[in-house]
Amino acid sequence: MNTEIKRPETISINGISTPLPMFVRSVSSFESQLAPDAALEALSLIPNTDPLLISAFDFYLPDDVGQEERNAHEEELQLIKQLQERGCFILMDSGNYEASRTGFNHQWTEEKYVKAISEIPYTCAFSFDNLYPSGNVQENAQDAVERVNKTKNDFVLPIVHAPVHEEVRESDKIPDILFEVAKLSRPHMIAVPERELGSGIIERVYMVKRIRNRLNELGYYQPIHILGTGNPVSTVLLSHAGADSFDGLEWCRTAVDRETGLLYHHQQYDFFRYQTKTMARFETVREAESDAEISLMLKMALHNLDFIHDWMEELRDNLRENRVAEMLSFYLPEHVYNEINNNLRDMLE
């Protein structure tokens, strides 16, 4: 029988500490309403030290670019350095997500990734992951660990992928793979994509619970990061199941309704601008909403960032007090909460 091991309140890596669970605000060139430079500018306007994620692919500078591109790249690095100096926890992603989505996966190599992580500021980085690993649990885990070891960097973290069989991810193997990775290397954190945990949020919550139960057999607490979770309600459910860290782009491509935690199309931010004026914690965000010189998309992003800061604080408080069900029932429409409760009652009790 698994022994419950309490989640630590913070995680410390490379001299930077941040509370758990944490939401890491992703910056990406793919599926965002803000280009990386604009996203960094938005993040710099928020007066907090919430974590962020940047892509090695997006901030890699080829040797053969012109001076104009070099100048733009240096400006981006300066924004990252300023956030780092402020005390922000900065995760560097492998870049394989952007490379594969934009059709550059064959040009994006491990050599370029290593060059990127040697030149760009960060707190810790995810390894150059193998998107189609072995179906053998031991081989899969060994490969993930070797990809970290090759960097000879204590602050590079492993990413685990479920093996693919007949074009379907074998999600059931993920708990054992993570367990073996932890046994082999005891990393600060292990990452796994949310999309590989199951076909819907209910399956994914139960998979995270399985992962946490398996990792608890280690006898110590092993933090896990879920890649691609930017939905506020999902962060609550997956945190309660045992996940510790999340990243996502929803903050810069959708509009959040602060009264429900539900997301809407970015063009519908107009419906929630009154919330920015009346509910935002940060004065900078309220002032931006009234500034005619600031674009609507930037105002939306600031609105979302302000909300996420409050949401994660509230989530951590409710996890400590075992009031996650109450939090969900307070925010969500009754029919949504009822579906969650009907499917996850044993998890929420």
- pLDDT of 236-285, one tens digit each? 999 999 999 999 999 999 999 999 999 999 999 999 999 999 999 999 99
Q: How many separate domains does the chain show? A: 1
Residue 78 lies in a domain: yes
Tell me the percentage of the chain whose pLDDT exceeds 90.
Answer: 95
Average pLDDT for residues 55-84, to the nearest whole number?
95
Task: Tell me the pLDDT tens digit for each residue of 308-336.
Answer: 999 999 999 999 999 999 999 999 999 99
Residue 54 has pLDDT above 90, yes or no: yes
Residue 15 has pLDDT above 60, yes or no: yes
How do strand 52-55 and strand 164-165 relate by DSSP bridges?
unpaired
Residue 2 has pLDDT above 80, yes or no: no
Q: Assign 1 a pLDDT band (cuts: 50, 70, 90).
A: very low
Residue 36 lies in a domain: yes
CA atoms within 13 A on the CB side of 7: 22
Average pLDDT for residues 193-220, to the nearest whole number?
97
Residue 186 lies in a domain: yes
d(CA 96, CA 265): 26
pLDDT at 117 (0 to 100)? 92
Task: Tell me the pLDDT tens digit for each residue of 105-130.
Answer: 889 999 999 999 999 999 999 999 99
d(CA 42, CA 190): 28
Average pLDDT, the chain: 96
User: Residue 74 class from Cβ within 10 Å (0-12 exposed, 13-18 middle, 19+ buried)?
Assistant: exposed
Residue 279 lies in a domain: no
Task: Tell me the pLDDT tens digit for each residue of 158-181.
Answer: 999 999 999 999 999 999 999 999
Q: Assign 103 a pLDDT band (cuts: 50, 70, 90).
A: confident
Residue 165 lies in a domain: yes
Q: Where are the beta strands (DSSP E) in 73-189?
A: 90-93, 124-126, 156-157, 164-165, 168-169
Provide the CATH number for the domain around residue 32: 3.20.20.105
Q: The pTM is what?
A: 0.96
Residue 5 lies in a domain: no
User: What range defines the domain where residue 199 resides?
Assistant: 10-252
Residue 137 has pLDDT above 60, yes or no: yes
Q: Where are the beta strands (DSSP E) in the chain?
A: 10-13, 16-19, 22-26, 52-55, 90-93, 124-126, 156-157, 164-165, 168-169, 190-193, 224-227, 245-248, 254-256, 263-265
